[in-house]
Amino acid sequence: MNSTMLDSGMVRRNKEKKKRPAWGVPKGIVLLAMPEGWRTSVLTESGNLCGRLDVPIDTTPQGARAAAAVMVTELARDFHDTDVEVSWDPPQEPWSWTAQVILIAENEPPSPGAEG
């Protein structure tokens, strides 16, 4: 493959319009402390997205909740052009947390401490 072909392929990829993901706007989060690290399940309008939370295994629960809130906030903004607020529910188990993800009205500032 010559450099002209590579360059034209790169140009095509860079000009592609960013596609919206098949999954919907986040509506909730489940955060689990597992022996192998922190896991999340992001509940959306069209299903769940599950995976590992990209934090060190020894991250505190408060740190993991903050990281999960930032992750979901950025996903909503980057992929759905919308702002959300994450509100954590009181824990039912010492290894499990849930949060509600709420759309923020355009002119409404987020409530203090909503992401932690």
CA dist 34 → 52, 72, 75, 77, 88 (Å): 10, 20, 23, 28, 19
In a domain, 18, yes or no: no
In a domain, 109, yes or no: no
Q: Are 84 and 102 in contact (CB under 8 A)?
A: yes
Domain encompassing residue 98: 24-103
Share of the chain above pLDDT 90, in %: 64
Q: Residue 84 has what DSSP assignment?
A: E
In a domain, 67, yes or no: yes
Pairing of strands 96-103, 47-52: unpaired
Residue-wise pLDDT tens digits, 47-104:
999 999 999 999 999 999 999 999 999 999 998 999 999 999 999 899 999 999 999 9
In a domain, 19, yes or no: no
The structure's pTM equals 0.73
Residue-wise pLDDT tens digits, 26-38:
999 999 999 999 9
In a domain, 7, yes or no: no
Domain count, the chain: 1
Give 44's pLDDT tier (boundaries 50, 70, 90): very high
